[in-house]
Amino acid sequence: MAKRENYNELYLFMQVAREGSFTAAARRLGLAQSGISRSVRELEERLGVQLLVRTTRRLSLTQAGEQLYQATESAFDALDSGLATLAHYRETPSGTVRINASQHAIDKCMLPKLAIFKQRYPDIRLELMNESRFVNIITERFDAGVRLGPEVGQGMVAVRITPDMEMAVVGTPEHLRRYGFPQTPADLVAHPCIGYQFADGGLYQWELIQDGKSVTHRPEGQWAFSDSYMEAEAARLGLGLAYVPVELVANDLERGTLIRVLQRYSLRMDGLFLYYPHRNVSPALRAVIDTLKI
């Protein structure tokens, strides 16, 4: 491979030719005139051609100097343009951000907040993948994931994106007329309860608080789902009691189509957290993080 030229010397020569004198070039660059003159002279010696005609009154380009000036000016202008393009990527984030999250997280938190990207970050493509199962975001090529609580794996960073989540036991008026209104967690055994099933087949044990202590109830019923939205919908259909985030059923409670029970025993869970690898956070992902975090 041919030895590359000293680009610093080429740049100094271009500035001298552009400004018309060593003095003007030194003033523009904030460098010593003697240093610029020495660099240009060394460039001429290495190339074996005279580039400048120096007199006490004026400075002019030789034919070789004019040719080199045109080449260097074009090359450095192209480089400046390329660097400006990189600055655009820094100042205007772009690219694709893939996030694994539940339907609940997407609907109640992420989509309402990220809707501003349409105007603010039109060059960012957002792929919000609705899955309730826990996934390895690295091996499955996600940029980030959303989960309850701040506990994440090694090398991950967690950022809170919602307040703590209030849970609610709810059922239809018809269900409660038939099975009665439970007064304590122990009364739940008399009710068909809708279950939340994890990807590994395990069933979520309802966590409640009684006398300052945690108590659990295993939902016994005909129905189990892997999504809180479907649990809430099953409760609306009168299929049993559901234990879901209260924000999923707020409208139902206001209309009276669902009734909340055991409120004093219901749990407040850790809110939703966005988690992602702590290294190599792209400007596009950084824009998502800054928009979602609270």
Collect the ranges in the chain with pLDDT lower than 50. 1-2
- Domain ranges in the chain are 7-91, 95-163+271-292, 165-269
Is the CATH number of domain 95-163+271-292 3.30.70.2190?
no
Q: What are phi and psi of 253, to 5 degrees?
A: -65, -40
User: In whole angstroms, what is the distance from residue 276 CA to residue 158 CA?
Assistant: 7
Class of domain 165-269 (CATH, top level) = alpha beta
- Three-state secondary-structure class, residue 38: helix
Predicted TM-score (pTM) of this structure: 0.65
The closest alpha carbon to 65, from 19, 13, 24, 7, belongs to 13
Residue 214 CB coordination number (10 Å):
9
User: In whole angstroms, what is the distance from residue 225 CA to residue 223 CA?
Assistant: 7
**Predicted pLDDT at 2:** 44
Lateral strand order in the sheet of 95-101 = 124-130, 95-101, 144-148, 272-277, 156-160
Domain range 7-91, its CATH number among 1.10.260.40, 1.10.10.10, 3.20.20.370, 2.40.30.10: 1.10.10.10
With beta carbons less than 8 A apart as the criterion, state whether 126 and 117 touch: yes
User: In whole angstroms, what is the distance from residue 54 CA to residue 60 CA?
Assistant: 7
Same fold, 7-91 and 165-269: no
Q: Hunting for tokens 């189990």 — which residue is that? A: 224
Beta strands in 72-198 (DSSP E): 95-101, 124-130, 144-148, 156-160, 165-171, 195-196
Residue 148: partners with Cβ closer than 8 Å, 6 or more residues away: 165, 269, 270, 271, 272, 273
* Residues 190, 171, 230: CA angle, nearest 5 degrees: 110
